[in-house]
Structure 1
Amino acid sequence: MFLVGSVPLLHPEVQTVDEMLDGWRNQQLCRNLAHDTIDARIATVRRFIAHSNEFPWSWTPGIVEEFFADLRGIKGRRQSTVRGYQNALRLFCSYIADPDYGWDRVCEQRFGTHPAQVFFAWNTATHVQDNEQSPEKRPFTKQELQDFLDHADDQVTLIANSNKKGWLPAYRDSVMFKVAYSYGLRFNELRHLQTVDFSRNPHAAEFGRYGAVKVRYGKAKKGSPPKRRTVLTVFDWTPEILADWLAHGQPYIDDSIDLFPSERGSLVAENTLLRRFRRYCNDLGLTDGLDLHSFRRSYITHLIEDGWDAKFVQDQAGHEFASTTSLYTGVASDFRTRTVRRVLDQTIKDALSLGEETS
């Protein structure tokens, strides 16, 4: 804090809030938190101030409850969203109420009051489940996935044959859908891929230079850089898709090493790919519950259904725990039936063999 003698502040409330947020930003930067995370938290604080029409040193538990009752009851925000807002505001209150930072003394001097923590266990949501994804979210069935990818290819051909612009972005997005499924990638991992990230797998020479991909922007833990991992190629059609894109698609959009550049030379935005994804789903009449992350769910599910080792699938997905991988697995009913039938048949066979031995 820098107080200039007896010069009065023109807008002390607004200036004090700005100073608080600047200090809080510095604190979070020291914790190695991502800039996007910090910006989102600060935006939440400003939104709460605008809604309550009260400054942080005047907040009360009643104001908290009114704000979140509006979010849940009127605007219908999801439980995970509400908890994220509450966590950001709780952390901000802990910062400004900490006497080590001196905001209590500044507010007493300027406004005759001081900030306090107003987010408690009895008026905020708790995180009690490992898996809080919407029950609607699911993987593609194999037939749905085939229909979707075929439709994406058909749209590229349709646009190209009509002599309209846009066949290259449609082609790029079609390849992105296939690569997302081929390696079980999150969107941020997918958009950051570069041509130099692919390498040979000496144990799978048939895949050529596309035997493995180095994922450099995996999901990070708090205060840590993105988690890297190597994902091995498992589908025999993947190298052909990549080779064709690098020969007939990527060089005509941008000459950089980005695998999926946008028309403006930057990385593809999630909303850009999501709009096309939803349009194709609507064209095919696919039910709700599918999103870009469904390619990752499908990859894990289909590998498990096809008999791949569970530990291998876990490593491919980059999950630290097998329980996390199991959350993504939504095996089809016919696979479950086959599994039960196989176990029962083996049990009967063992019983018959034992009976023959004893007789």
Structure 2
Amino acid sequence: MSDHLDLSLSPTRRLRSVRPLHEASFVFDEMLNGWRDQQRSRGLDPYGVEVRIKFIRRFAGYCEKPPWQWGPGDLEDFTVRSMSGSKPLAKSTIRNYQMTVRIFCAYLTDMRYEWVAECLERFGSAPQQICHDWNTVAHLLEYEGRPQRRALTYDELEAFFACADERVETILAAGRKGALSALRDAQIFKTIYAFGLRRKEAASLELADLRPNPAAPRFGTYGAVEVRWGKGSSGSGPRRRTVLTLPELDWVVDGLRQWVDEGRPRLSDDPRGALWPTERGTRVCLRYLDSRFADLRDRAGLPVELSLHALRHTYVTNLIEWGYSEKFVQDQVGHLYASTTAIYTSVGNDYKNRVIAQALSRVYGDSHAQP
């Protein structure tokens, strides 16, 4: 194969400028390179693009043949295998895999990219769209997560935070290292709940993101959190929002103030850096947060199906229970659509009882209201 490729050429034109030793592998690589360029040209997240490229390689390895030999049966065999066994994949995961195969095949069969003609000339067969309505998972429900996943009850939330605080005291009493990290972890989880943050949003916070709210001067510089790395739509980049500190959750202010004034300076002297630095001066990673949450959850004796994201679900649920409007809650958590916020809401029996008591009182008079 030629040692020098002109990367300014399209993938199909680059193919004609070389004589590869392994033609099939070389053509497949150029297909992926072209597809990568197409996705990046749309402004899609580079990490997400590489995840899709990696999956297509994995799918090709499963099929044991190149894309121009794939058929619908290959997708169906992969899907059935993935949905069976001791650890079947979730329906939403299967759909994402199928969608990745669908858009890759759409790229290959688009006549503007000349892959069909190129493969016919070289191999005598051409790529085809192997995904259709009768062999892919239909999206019928807005929420397809596991039914066990839910918001925490008030007792569960109290038990979890008590366990996080107790871990700090236990380490201090034993005279072991790690008390500062334990304090940081406890405050991260309290901040995630008190502001309804996603994992990445919390891990990406910096000192400058703690802002005052002129409408609530009593909170000082902790009246709001500026989220600069919110989840965005495909190609849009991060979506920014400001999350206000709520009076029902004002206890988070004391915790944040203690961490910023006393805890964080022992790990970092950067006045503009990460809010949650590690002992090595880096940011806490998402995997660490998941692991630490699971450890505290198990220590508190909570159900294993509860994940770190359940704190965000709990925040949404509690705000609805406390009487905040759906639009306010939607803006606080950064949902583009109100229907998404509704999925997160699982109000408790106490709230439902209060609502029905108010309805009874309104219709039948105060004597029917629940005492």
Report if TM-score (shorter chain) is over 0.5. Answer: yes
Partner of 1:117: 129
After TM superposition, give the deviation of residue 137 of structure 1 in Å. Answer: 0.9
In structure 1, distance between residues paired with 2:33 and 2:92? 27
Which of 147, 151, 158 lines up with 2:163 in the alignment? 151
In structure 2, distance between residues paired with 1:4 and 1:325? 52
Query: Structure 1 residues 310, 118: closer, same or farther in 2, change over 3 A?
Result: closer
In structure 1, distance between residues paired with 2:94 and 2:15? 37
In structure 2, distance between residues paired with 1:219 and 1:292? 16
Q: Deviations over 1:161-196 (max 9, x none)?
A: 222222222221111100001100111111111100
Within 5 Å, give how 1:272-311 maps onto structure 2: 272-311=288-327
After TM superposition, give the deviation of residue 264 of structure 1 in Å. Answer: 3.3
RMSD: 1.7
In structure 1, distance between residues paired with 2:277 and 2:112? 47
Does the Cα contact within 8 Å between 1:136 and 1:288 map onto a contact in 2? Answer: no
After TM superposition, give the deviation of residue 343 of structure 1 in Å. Answer: 1.1
After TM superposition, give the deviation of residue 322 of structure 1 in Å. Answer: 2.6
Partner of 2:265: 251
In structure 2, distance between residues paired with 1:316 and 1:331? 18
- Kindly provide the amino acid, as one letter, of the partner of residue 324 in structure 2: W
Partner of 1:51: 62
Does the Cα contact within 8 Å between 2:298 and 2:304 map onto a contact in 1? Answer: no
Partner of 2:4: none
Task: Give 3-state SS (helix, strand or coil) of 1:47's partner.
Answer: helix
Partner of 1:138: 150
In structure 2, distance between residues paired with 1:318 and 1:8? 52
Within 5 Å, give how 1:214-253 maps onto structure 2: 214-234=226-246, 235-253=249-267
- Tell me the matched-pair count: 351
* Superposition TM-score, scaled by structure 2 size: 0.90
Deviates more, 1:52-61 or 1:273-282: 273-282
- Kindly provide the amino acid, as one letter, of the partner of residue 261 in structure 2: A
Partner of 1:356: none
Partner of 2:199: 187
Task: Give 3-state SS (helix, strand or coil) of 1:214's partner.
Answer: strand
After TM superposition, give the deviation of residue 3 of structure 1 in Å. Answer: 4.1
Alignment of 1:2 with 2:18, yes or no, is: no
Alignment of 1:348 with 2:364, yes or no, is: yes
Does the Cα contact within 8 Å between 1:59 and 1:118 map onto a contact in 2? Answer: yes
After TM superposition, give the deviation of residue 265 of structure 1 in Å. Answer: 2.9
Q: Which runs of 4+ in 1 moved over 3 A?
A: none
Within 5 Å, give how 1:17-32 maps onto structure 2: 17-32=28-43
After TM superposition, give the deviation of residue 236 of structure 1 in Å. Answer: 1.7
Give ranges in structure 2 of 5+ residues lacking alignment.
1-12
Does the Cα contact within 8 Å between 2:361 and 2:367 map onto a contact in 1? Answer: no
- Kindly provide the amino acid, as one letter, of the partner of residue 131 in structure 1: Y
Q: Deviations over 1:261-295 (max 9, x none)?
A: 23333322221111111111111211233111111
In structure 2, distance between residues paired with 1:182 and 1:291? 16
In structure 2, distance between residues paired with 1:295 and 1:2? 51
Does the Cα contact within 8 Å between 2:193 and 2:312 map onto a contact in 1? Answer: yes
Q: Percent identity among equivalent residues? A: 41
In structure 1, distance between residues paired with 2:325 and 2:80? 46
In structure 1, distance between residues paired with 2:236 and 2:348? 36
Give ranges in structure 1 of 5+ residues lacking alignment.
353-359
Which of 282, 293, 299 lines up with 1:266 in the alignment? 282
* Superposition TM-score, scaled by structure 1 size: 0.93
Partner of 1:66: 77
